Amino acid sequence: MDSNLFPEGVTRCGLPKFMLWLTLVSAVLLWGVYAAVQVFMYGIGVTGLDNYFGFGLWITFDLAVIALGAGAFFTGFLKYILKIDQLKNIVNLAVILGFLCYSGAMLILTMDIGQPIRAWFGYWHPNVHSMLTEVIFCITCYCTVLIIEFIPLVLEQKQLNKIPFLHHFAHHLHVNMALFAGIGTFLSTFHQGSLGGMYGVMFGRPYAYREGFFIWPWTFFLFVLSAVGSGPVFTVLVCTLIEKMTGKKLVEYKVKALMGKIAGTMLCVYMFFKIIDTWAWAVGYLPSVGLTFEQMFHGNIYGQWLLWTELGLCGILPAIMLISPAIKNNPSLLYTAAILDCIGISINRYVFTVQTIAIPVMPFDSWQMYAPNWAEWATSLMICAYGVLVLSLCYRYLPVFPQEVKLNKK
């Protein structure tokens, strides 16, 4: 029925089936909207956050999706600035994912701050010493850049593209894409970094505090590296998931392996510095404030296993897997490594957010437990549902995958 809206030369499932899918996704979305309304009406007291855990699931979720959304700026940088041409086959998806991750994170933030209508104060009364000010600036500007990068793709929709004005407009944006990719890279690098810096400057919190380089604590650089070491493989994973669900080939395996190699290389660099950082923190900084490495962990949910999983199973292992040609060229091993990589980065964001504030810093204080409640889960899932919804529409109606027609020729 809607087949004349499909991209040139492709096939899609029937409209009723697609509608059923959208209904399922929308149900999750609506549950989240209900929670969001509660939050806006009654305040964030309805969540599981409390005076110890001012930061919780929302911030963890934000940081994780922003890191995984780094595929957008990094792939854009490699494609448009370093001119790695093969990446043109996946860059559209990377841009859409980046847009979804960033806009999703911003939606969560409007709920997460206690005074959403004052969100713009970050521009009006900026504190130049605060890493969060840098985050506010870069995240909003970068989101705008992502919208600009996303628009030409929407305009390439078959029917829209027949309108001469829109066609030319899209063309002009395309021609200037290197410029936007450049700005995006700059903005995104900075705020990925300042998200790390946000934790690294908290000198009252020994789990997160790091000395550093000029005004930037080490975590600034570690966050940038970990984001570029995981973003590209997240894009690959999403692409593969769409392929599995639709039963089509969308991107040549060679391109995926290349993305894996790029992420793997960056992950190796990241792990190198992360291990040195952890070592210096454990044997140098912690004793200087009278604490030991063992004191940073507690019970199961704050156990050392988190650190070892992050560094070993979900760090060193996928880094090695992604750079070894034999493994990288085997799809299931590549995907396994990619999943481990993404899990590792998410653990990192979780411990920096939750473990950091769960640790008793005053000697007579005690460990605190935090469990997100339904309102936080529902709103976080709402963002996932929003992502799935937009992605489904993009896949159905926009020419996202340039290789699709060729790869699916019977």
Cβ of 164: how many Cβ atoms within 10 Å? 8
Q: Candidates 30, 283, 289, 371: give the one binding other proteins (CB under 8 A).
A: 289
Stretch that binds other proteins, among 48-56, 276-284, 340-348, 384-392 (CB under 8 A): 48-56
By the rule CB under 8 A, 284 interacts with other proteins: no
- Give 264's contacts (C-beta < 8 A, 6+ positions apart): 229, 318, 319, 321, 322, 323, 328, 337
Find out whether 268 and 319 touch, Cβ atoms under 8 Å. Answer: yes
Based on CB atoms, which residue is closest to other proteins, 88 or 205? 205
Print the binding letters for residues 359-398 with other proteins: x by CB under 8 A, - otherwise.
--xxxxx--x------------------------------
By the rule CB under 8 A, 54 interacts with other proteins: yes
Find out whether 236 and 259 touch, Cβ atoms under 8 Å. Answer: yes
CB of 113 to other proteins, least distance (A): 5
By the rule CB under 8 A, 292 interacts with other proteins: yes
CB-count burial class (<10 Å; 0-12, 13-18, 19+) for 102: buried
* Whole-number Å distance between alpha carbons of 97 and 104: 10
* Whole-number Å distance between alpha carbons of 368 and 371: 10
Print the binding letters for residues 238-277 with other proteins: x by CB under 8 A, - otherwise.
----------------------------------------
Based on CB atoms, which residue is closest to other proteins, 135 or 267? 135
Find out whether 70 and 230 touch, Cβ atoms under 8 Å. Answer: yes
By the rule CB under 8 A, 125 interacts with other proteins: yes
Total binding residues for other proteins by CB under 8 A?
51
- Give 389's contacts (C-beta < 8 A, 6+ positions apart): 22, 25, 26, 29
Stretch that binds other proteins, among 9-17, 106-114, 253-261, 319-327 (CB under 8 A): 106-114
By the rule CB under 8 A, 282 interacts with other proteins: no
CB of 59 to other proteins, least distance (A): 9
Binding site for other proteins (CB under 8 A): 42-45, 49-52, 54-55, 112-115, 118-119, 121-122, 124-127, 129-133, 135-136, 198, 201-206, 287-292, 295, 356-357, 361-365, 368
